[in-house]
Structure 1
Amino acid sequence: MHDVAKRAGVSQTTVSHVINGSRHVSPQALEAVQRAIEDTGYVNDSIARSLRTGKTGTIGLSISAMSNPYFGTFVHLIERQVTDDGMSLILVDTHDDPQRELKVTSELLARRPDAILLAPSAEPERTIDAIARRSIPMVLIDRVPPWAPDDRFDAIGVENTEAMSAVVEHLVALGHQRIGLIAGKRGLYTTEERVAGFETGLSVAGRASQGTVENGVEDDELDTHAVERLLASADPPTAIIGGNNLITIEVVRQLVSLGKKIPDDISLVSFDDFEWADLFHPRLTAVRQPVEELAERAVQLLRDRLTEPNMAGRVERIAPQMIVRSSTVPHPADA
């Protein structure tokens, strides 16, 4: 830094302000410092700074299913905000496995992040305890434990139960009496909430016995026979709901392989909209999750907790939006 300041003809304090963005400097000084940094190859020593300040300038993100487009978008939006705050993001993949979640998060803790965002597995208690013992600010994202609020963390997710109930209401209004749900991985909070919403919607419509739930994930892999089991029942459904975007794509594949046409033979709804859902034929009716708002609020909750680590735990829910397209039509008997 001394060499950069000498070459640029400014003080070391000015160089520090340019590097850290901590105070406005004149355009001339900014250009001189940037040119000197380029000429000298100077790199700010983040390790030395962390030893001095006790902060690493990093945020940990522990999340699952990186192959899922929904999570990919989520990570991108969070990374952009964290970078804009002058920090770096360290990403680890939990694969939705509690043992791996604890392992990779413990490795993440060894890097001393200033805070952690966690998309919890079905059994996250040990991981949450490990983070809390380090007194590291924490926000749970996408999946909200049923025991929240908890003063150890904040949590934000989609309102799954009411949204799924609204999907059932939409299908019942179209005359569908038998509805199937291909749900996500057992035990995940999002899965349990969506199944609960499905059952609530049927109960409100007076059709509690006319819905069937199949899990679309077995041993962390998509179940390639879930739709076949649904349609093989004595009274098969006339409408199917895909529990998330990947499951919906698998449902479409299975329906095609069984020679079923959407929506002529069966109506289909996806609980998750995705970029090319509007390009399907027919265009998919879907529940659009507010991923941008979720990411923005998650980072803001983390900023608040970094400022006030001992604040009471907060839980926020954001309502998704159902987009009705052409994959849901009135039941043929009522058309």
Structure 2
Amino acid sequence: MVTMTEVAHSAGVSVSTVSHVINGTRLVAPATREKVQRAMLLLGYQHRPIARSLSAGSNQTIGLALTAASNPYWVELVQGIDGEATRAGLNLIIVDTRDDARHESTAVANMLAHHIEGLVIAPSDGWRDLTLPLLRDHPVPYVIVDRIDPELRADQVGVENEASTAAVIDHLISAGHRRIGMVAGISGLSTSAERLRGYRLAHQHADLVIDPALIVDGASTSEGGRRATLALLELPVPPTAVFAGNNDMTIGVLGALKAAGIRVPRDMAFAAFDDFAWADLFSPGLTTVAQPSAAIGARAVQLLLRRMTDREAPPQTIRLPAEIMHRESCGCTPVSV
């Protein structure tokens, strides 16, 4: 079966250009259109609409594998990916990995069986043992999004986690806090590890020794954030500030603090990774690290299109900067500790 990637190679153009010629989604120069059409004829390429191609093998579809898209961060990321794919004339299949390596590998295998042109994946913990071998056994281009693996030679795009976390923790330290609780995400994820490194880095720069009891596993979930906060509050010397490693844990942390009658920021300063569209509507407004989610998604598709066109191109790892949203929850006045 001839794919758009093969047509692109033969015509000497990008995959997106081939898609635009096939689907009429953008004007293409007559000479370029002729080259694409000649390559299609030479290779015997046959265009099939997506409705008929899922069972027979798609030649204009990319896949997206990531955890539940109900999280606001993932919703915006998917919008960025879908928007860029649409601009390139490509269809998008989305599967929920449930952040489980076994489920992820099964879902990816099913997409590969449908002959997708490429894959964007936010890998789960343990994906190296199950999903990565599948991708290495199939000649399908893929791009890792969000959860960057520095040891893997592959196209990857995500946010700058370490420096942005360090900046927020430094802000809390400069406000006088010396015991800052860290509600960390799933330990096997690179994003969790990078944010934890940022937390440690800020303390190192301030010559502060970290009490290990202040770092608590929040499992990247609301319930995990709630349990982690309760554990912090039960310490002999509780923290005066808390940092949540993602927006799901933020909900759990704030719920636990409210249930305990602790006022933010008067009794406890608070900051978090991941912004909400309604974060400034909280009382107090939440100080957060805002990721350029849609831009990360769009950039991932751009990298994928490049890889689909040129399999020999050197892999790229792209880190987009985050933005610190300073609001009231961090309590910017010095405190006595």
Instruction: Give the TM-score taking structure 1 as reference length.
Output: 0.82
User: Percent sequence identity over matched residues?
Assistant: 38
Q: Are the structure 2 counterparts of residues 21 and 234 from structure 1 closer, same or farther at C-alpha, using a change threshold of 3 Å?
A: same
Letter in 1 for 2:148: V
Q: Which has the larger radius of gyration?
A: 1
Distance 1:218 1:196, change over 3 A: closer
Shift of 1:55: 5.9
Distance in 2, Cα, partners of 1:46 & 1:77: 23
Structure 1 residue 265: deviation in Å? Answer: 0.1
Residues 49-74 of structure 1 deviation map (CA, whole Å, 9 limit, x = unaligned): 979xx861000000012221110111
| 1:133 and 2:137 correspond | yes
Once the two structures are TM-superposed, the CA of residue 221 in structure 1 deviates from its matched residue by 5.4
**1:129 CA drift (Å):** 2.1
Q: Is the 8 A contact 1:158 1:318 kept in 2?
A: yes
Q: Relative to structure 1, is the Cα distance of residues 231 and 306 closer, same or farther in structure 2, using a 3 angstrom cutoff?
A: same
The reply on whether 1:88 has 2:97 as its aligned counterpart is: no
Q: Give yes or no for contact 1:179–1:210 (8 Å, CA) kept in 2.
A: no
Task: Give 2:312's aligned residue.
Answer: 310
Where does residue 243 of structure 2 map in the other structure?
241
- Deviation of 1:85 (Å): 1.3
- Per-residue deviation, 1:81: 1.5
Instruction: Please tell me whether the aligned partners of residues 273 and 289 of structure 2 are also in contact (alpha carbons under 8 angstroms).
Output: yes
How far residue 20 of structure 1 moved from its aligned partner, in angstroms, is 2.4
Deviations 1:218-244 (A, max 9, x none): 899535321111011122110000110
Which stretches of structure 1, 4 residues or longer, exceed 4 Å deviation after superposition?
22-25, 47-51, 218-221
Matches within 5 A, 1:269-308: 269-308=271-310
Structure 1 spans left out of the alignment, 5+ residues? 1-16, 26-43
Find the counterpart in structure 2 of residue 37 from structure 1: none
C-alpha distance in structure 2 between counterparts of 1:295 and 1:47, whole Å: 22
Amino acid at match of 1:252: L
In the alignment, what sits opposite 1:7?
none
Question: What corresponds to 2:147 in structure 1?
Answer: 143
Q: Shift of the alpha carbon at 1:89?
A: 0.3
Which structure has more relative contact order (CA 8 Å, sep 6+)? It is: 2
What letter matches 1:192 in structure 2? A
SS in 1 for 2:65: strand
Report the counterpart of residue 252 of structure 2 in structure 1.
250
The alignment partner of 1:225 has SS state of: helix
**2:124 alignment partner, SS class:** coil
1:220-231 alignment runs, 5 A limit = 222-231=224-233
Aligned-residue CA RMSD (Å): 2.5
Q: 1:185 to 1:307 in 2, by over 3 A?
A: same
Other structure's SS at 1:322 match:
strand
Does the CA-based 8 Å contact 2:225-2:250 persist in structure 1? Answer: no
